[in-house]
């Protein structure tokens, strides 16, 4: 599935892939537009994602463009936040740091993400975020002479 970014105005863009091929829940090919919501591919790079409703089962789904995660936090954001936490910054301070750039994260959300990312690192499932963080933290600590 390819995504076309259509400029709506300079500040906002719509990532519109067109109608989905099939509902991810029931497999039928009958969907209609059901609003949209804003996500960030990178910090300060907003896009609107189309929401679809299946006419058969009534459930909604939104195919995400590349770089957009299920949460408001993209992979680069999750990487930054996990680095801060693993370097000893408190959850409250870590959650307050991205607010300057418009990414709001609660300490509870971070608390929920930490075990998930640690499990991905432990089993080697996440080379994009967790493993990179662990290796960079180990390198950082070994360079400090501790």
What pLDDT, in 10s, does the model give residues 62-89?
887 766 666 666 667 777 777 887 788 8
CB atoms closer than 10 angstroms to residue 54:
22
Quote the pLDDT of residue 85.
79
Quote the pLDDT of residue 99.
74
Q: Is the pTM of this model over 0.95?
A: no
CA 107 to chain centre: 16
Higher pLDDT, 3 or 110: 110
């Amino acid at each position: 599935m390819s995504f076309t970014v259509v400029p709506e105005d300079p500040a906002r863009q719509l990532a519109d892939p067109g109608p989905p091929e099939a509902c991810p829940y029931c497999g039928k090919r009958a969907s209609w537009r059901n609003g949209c919501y804003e996500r960030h591919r990178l910090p300060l790079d907003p896009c609107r994602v189309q929401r679809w409703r299946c006419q058969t089962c009534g459930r909604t789904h939104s195919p995400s463009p590349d770089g957009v995660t299920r949460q408001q936090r993209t992979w680069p954001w999750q990487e930054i936040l996990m680095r801060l936490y693993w370097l000893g910054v408190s959850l409250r301070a870590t959650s307050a740091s991205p607010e300057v750039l418009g990414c709001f994260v609660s300490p509870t959300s971070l608390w929920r993400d930490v075990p998930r990312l640690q499990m991905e690192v432990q089993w080697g499932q996440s080379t994009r975020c967790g493993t990179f963080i662990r290796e960079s933290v180990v390198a950082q600590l070994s360079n400090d002479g501790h």
